[in-house]
Amino acid sequence: MASASLIDKAIVWESAVGWTPECLDEGPDMLARYRAAGFSFLSLTIGADWDRPEPTLRHLSQQRRWFEARSHEFEIIDTVADIRRAKASGKTALSFHLQGAGPAAYEPAMIDSWYRLGVRWMILAYNTRNPLGDGCHEPSDAGLSMLGRTFVAEANRVGMMLDASHAGINTSLDIIELSSKPVIFSHSSVRALKNHERNVDDTQIKAVARRGGVIGINSIGAFLTDDNTSGVSAIVRHIDYIAQLVGAEHVGLGLDTVFYQPFMTKLYDSGPMMGLRGYPRPPWADVKPEALPELVEALDRHGYDETAILGILGENFLRVAEQNWRA
């Protein structure tokens, strides 16, 4: 199987591209590398749980204008059909996501406003506790609050896809169970292969698959291997685990490539939490966009047929998006 022809045929979906203000020094280079490697769709992190509505709205407005001025290369999409049209016209399709509900001020009524501005999925709880639920590093792992449950219902009504990455185990299981639509883990790897709180265990994998969802494998070495190294073979090992446990239709890519290592080092050094929760000090090993042909070839060698590879590259996430987003 020729990797170049399959990449050309595929909608290649990347779930986690850092695009908060701290990441933008590397922004143009990031985009150029994803485009050159053959990625069709990028979801950009426009805000995080510690961000507030007004500065996040300003940032999103500025970024929309920046991309609209480059409409010959990029298209901010509304629907799955838009992604396919952008691919056909040689453009890179874009949407935005929130890694935490802080930019929505934990107010369910703001979900629709963010959706109308191009945000297509949202993490509810990011690593620690917030008013909606517990993140993955909270020892109590108490699950969703009543407000969090209201958020799930409103996200389903609006068409906002729910992302359980960074959530605690019980919080993620609550999200999956309460949601009337499939849920994603946009950038999480397998806890059975690397015991890290950011990864998902078999209970979470089976629960999200049972409801039709998808897990995007994270390429950061801290979530892949015991020695914190990264590479295509490590990613395929995690893909294989999920495919064998619940089926290849429930796994995709959430590489979360860290182009902005200085910012992550600053974040790491700002307090003890990351070191205490099993993160090595940056720079972190990861997989860059240019490894895409090697990944396709590795999947082929592991016995995945064309349909399965196209699913892993993007069709699996597209299926879930189509079940969530407004037509």
Q: Which residues contact 293 (CB under 8 A, 6 or more apart)?
A: 3, 4, 7
- Please, are residues 188 and 215 in contact by the beta-carbon 8 Å criterion? yes
Report the pLDDT averaged over residues 196-213: 98
Q: Map out the domains of the chain with their CATH numbers.
A: 3-324 (3.20.20.140)
Share of the chain above pLDDT 90, in %: 98
Instruction: Specify the pLDDT at position 79.
Output: 98
Report the pLDDT averaged over residues 158-175: 98
Alpha carbons 230 and 256: distance in angstroms, whole number:
12
Closest CA to 97 of 29, 175, 26, 43: 43
**What is the DSSP-derived secondary structure letter of residue 102?**
G
Instruction: Specify the pLDDT at position 2.
Output: 80
Report the pLDDT averaged over residues 152-165: 98
Share of the chain above pLDDT 70, in %: 100
- Residues 210, 218, 172, 129, Cα dihedral to 10°: 180
ω into 283 cis (within 30 of 0): yes
Alpha carbons 309 and 296: distance in angstroms, whole number:
7
Instruction: Specify the pLDDT at position 1.
Output: 66
- Please, are residues 224 and 193 in contact by the beta-carbon 8 Å criterion? yes
On average, the pLDDT of the chain sits at 97
Please check the confidence at residue 80 and state whether its pLDDT lies above 70: yes
Q: What is the pLDDT of residues 299-322, one digit of tens each?
A: 999 999 999 999 999 999 999 999
pTM over 0.95: yes
Instruction: Specify the pLDDT at position 296.
Output: 98
Report the pLDDT averaged over residues 287-293: 98
Instruction: Specify the pLDDT at position 18.
Output: 96
Alpha carbons 318 and 299: distance in angstroms, whole number:
20
